[in-house]
Amino acid sequence: MKIAVTGAFSYSGKYITSRLLARGEEVITLTNHPNRPDPFEGKVKAFPLNFNNEEELEKNLSGIDVLVNTYWIRFDKGHNTQPRAVENTKILVRAAAKAGVKRIVHISITNPSADSHLPYFWGKAANEKAVIDSGMSYAILRPTVLFGKEDILINNIAWLLRRLPLFGLPGDGSYKLSPVYVDDLAKLAVEAVYSKENYIWDAVGPDEFTFKEMVEEIGQNTNSQKPLISFPPRLALLAAQFMSLFVNDVMLTPEEVDGLMANLLVSKEAPRCKTSLKDWLRENKSTVGKTYASELARHF
């Protein structure tokens, strides 16, 4: 098969591509960063993920059997907004359908909703609709927070715990999440490439932590247990925004705090992914949070 994966040199796309190449498939990528270090030694040809040129996208997708779409934006910056990301996703999906791509494997988020007041969760619902309406066969996978070597959120919690005398929880930290290992998501995505069925699956790991329990777990494993203090959510956000100035990044957004606190990062389905964050932290305790992972440096 010939498969296109968005962001094959980035995060989840890299794990998905690695598994596809191991199965002997031909993979191309659509990316904004063709000059990122190429972990696949030239085996994956890169094309622009340029939403301003639908014809070019269509041309580059011709001859492709399956598109694996990981494209998202984490937060708004300038013209790069969630509504824009929805329009961009529609352009990509339309280009794939016109190019004759037969199937799309689309990465979404747990609990997307067309009624959500949170632009990310609303946008993810709109993207799913575009995929379902595309005429291509589809699998939609809905992960929660990803963890892995290249992770941002969990890595940066560890980074803060290693450096600060205390850690501020937005609210009481009792809201829940079920993190999922990035390569477990990749395994589900690759299985979805070969399926012929249309389906929508949550992709979550075996643990269901409260946010506070997760931060405690990260602290224990990195030998940096600190007092966890409850702050009013907007004050915790303000503190994160202040610290963002020192790392030239956006550590946390109001929407992320609201999404976390609304218990949107858990699933009602039985977990399909088996790697426990606890085990992974134990194995990676010497590296997780040693250096800061910047979203702005990676994507903007």
Ligand X SMILES: NC(=O)c1ccc[n+]([C@@H]2O[C@H](COP(=O)([O-])OP(=O)(O)OC[C@H]3O[C@@H](n4cnc5c(N)ncnc54)[C@H](OP(=O)(O)O)[C@@H]3O)[C@@H](O)[C@H]2O)c1
Of residues 3, 4, 11, 92, which one binds ligand X by CB under 6 A?
Answer: 11
Please state the closest distance from residue 156 (CB atom) to ligand X, in A: 11
Distance CA 280, CA 124 (A): 28
Distance CA 203, CA 107 (A): 10
The size of the interface with ligand X (CB under 6 A), counted in residues, is: 24
96 binds ligand X (CB under 6 A): no
Q: Give the bridge partners for 147, in sequence order.
A: 181
**CA separation (Å) from 60 to 2, 8, 15, 53, 104?**
12, 15, 22, 11, 15
Residue with the CB atom nearest ligand X in the bound state: 7
Instruction: Scan residues 123-182 and list those touching ligand X (CB under 6 A).
Output: 143-146, 153
35 residue type, one letter: N
**276: phi > 0 → left, psi -120 to 50 → alpha, else beta; which?**
beta
Binding mask 189-208 for ligand X (x = CB under 6 A): --------------------
> Which of 34/171 has CB closer to ligand X?
34
Residue entry with tokens 């037969």: 102
> Which of 94/299 has CB closer to ligand X?
299
Binding mask 36-75 for ligand X (x = CB under 6 A): -------------x--------------------xxxx--
Which H/E stretch holds residue 68?
Answer: strand 66-69
Please state the closest distance from residue 111 (CB atom) to ligand X, in A: 11
Nearest to 107 by CA among 72, 74, 140: 140
The site for ligand X (CB under 6 A) is made up of 6-7, 10-13, 31-33, 49, 70-73, 80, 107, 109, 143-146, 153, 299-300
